[in-house]
Amino acid sequence: MDQPKLTTTSYAIRGLLAIRAWSTCELAQQVHVRMRRFWPRAESKLYEEPRKLAARGLAASEAGRVGKWQRTTYSVTPAGRDALARWLAEPGGPPSWCWWDASCRTSPT
């Protein structure tokens, strides 16, 4: 069975993950701070997306703890970085305000 097409949320989250690893809470905060004025999203979708990307092999997850709280951190995989770079190169791909563009075109650290 084919997997559903990736959404703009998928690409936005991968763009953030191309910068550094984040927890879902940190990702939601970043979207709120950086994009909420021109690209509002339901917070629940922002919390779901990293798990979906990990299930597709486009992100990796690492379980850990912060104090007594469990926390999962997500990072982009090489396949996720490649797919994001291909999307950025497509005609009509990223909008001109795509602030993560430069991060995705550089090699991983």
> For the segment 59-88, what is each residue's pLDDT rounded down to a tens digit?
999 998 878 888 899 999 999 999 888 888
Q: Is the dihedral of CA 18, 22, 25, 30 positive or negative?
A: negative
Alpha-carbon distance 66 to 55, whole Å? 24
Mean pLDDT within 85-96: 73
Tokens representing 62 are 């690492």
Question: How open is the CA angle 27-32-38, to the nearest 5 degrees?
Answer: 125
pLDDT at 78: 95
> For the segment 3-37, what is each residue's pLDDT rounded down to a tens digit?
667 888 888 899 899 999 999 989 988 888 887 77
Rounded to 10 degrees, the C-alpha dihedral 33/34/35/38 comes to 100
